[in-house]
Amino acid sequence: MNKKHKEKAALITKPNYPLDEAVSLLTEVSTSSFDGTAEAHIVLGIDPKAGDQQVRSTVALPNGTGKDVKIAAVVPDDKAKEMIAAGATHAGEASLISEIEKGNMDFDVLVAMPSVMRNLGKVAKSLGQKGLMPSPKAGTVTDDPIKTIQELKKGRVEFRADKQAIIHVIFGKISFGKDKLLENLNAILHALNEVKPSSLKNEYIKSITLCPSMGPGVKVDLGSIS
């Protein structure tokens, strides 16, 4: 642990903090020289192996992510220009799939129309390994790709529980400040509660830790979440 990290860690004087205080403290503990990302790591009480306890959804962050999301769209070629105009950096069908086959995946999100999904079979494995395969659950397989691209550019994010029942999700940049970050985080927590599995008998949210890209984590007092 370097000197700067120790100095920032010293600001955390309690085991956990009310949500608003935790977000406020988060903006003070970043050790990076760049504008770090605000991350939430949420441990759930679900059984990640149970088919009826999968947690995955999307949420539009009121203040965006602060990140310029690179979006590619697999659509019929005659729709490619519309996708570029909407904000996609790459669009098309055969040519885009060919680039993906070559390993050229210079994008953060891949959107696809249902009619072209069958053509993604040859690149499904490589896309899946990078977490880029379009999915109806993630809202990236859509008949309205223009709307999806625009929402993603404004700050729509996906969250999903991993094999350890943990959700890792970004909710803005440290420079956003407390109020905007808190608004974004509350939107995520609201969306998370909306997809609580009905079969779950245990405690749903077990812990929440907020972290900057670089710096110590701040634990949230779950009793402070309404």
DSSP labels, 73-86: EE--GGGHHHHHHH
CATH number assigned to the domain covering 71-153? 3.40.50.790
Q: Quick: pLDDT tens for 136-190.
A: 988 899 999 999 999 999 899 989 999 999 999 999 999 999 999 999 999 999 9
Domain with CATH 3.30.190.20 in the chain: 16-65+155-224
Does the pLDDT of residue 2 top 90, yes or no? no
Average pLDDT on 53-69 reads 91
pLDDT range class, residue 112, cuts 50, 70, 90: very high
| Residue linked to tokens 């055969």 | 94
DSSP 8-state secondary structure symbol assigned to residue 5: H
The predicted model gives 199-211 an average pLDDT of: 94
Percent of the chain with pLDDT over 70: 100
pLDDT band at 134 (very low <50, low <70, confident <90, very high): very high
Is residue 88 scored above 80 in pLDDT?
A: yes
Can you tell me the mean pLDDT for 122-135? 91
pLDDT recorded at residue 28:
93
CATH number belonging to the domain at 16-65+155-224, selected among 1.10.357.10, 3.40.50.20, 3.20.19.10, 3.30.190.20: 3.30.190.20
Question: Does residue 26 contact residue 179 with C-beta atoms inside 8 Å?
Answer: no
Please answer whether residues 182 and 22 qualify as being in contact, where contact means their C-beta atoms are separated by less than 8 angstroms: no
Query: Rounded mean pLDDT of the chain?
Result: 93
User: Quick count: other Cβ atoms within 10 Å of Cβ 7?
Assistant: 11
Which pLDDT score, from 0 to 100, does residue 201 have?
A: 87
Q: What is the average per-residue pLDDT within 186-206?
A: 94
13 CA to centre of own chain? 29
Domain boundaries for CATH 3.40.50.790 within the chain: 71-153
Given a contact cutoff of 8 angstroms between Cβ atoms, the answer to whether 154 and 56 are in contact is: no
* CB neighbour list of residue 151: distance below 8 Å, 6 or more residues apart: 60
For residue 202, the model assigns a pLDDT of: 86
**Residue 1 pLDDT class (50, 70, 90 cuts):** low
Residue 160, beta-bridge partner list = 56
- The pLDDT, as a whole number, for residue 4 is 85
pLDDT score for 137: 82
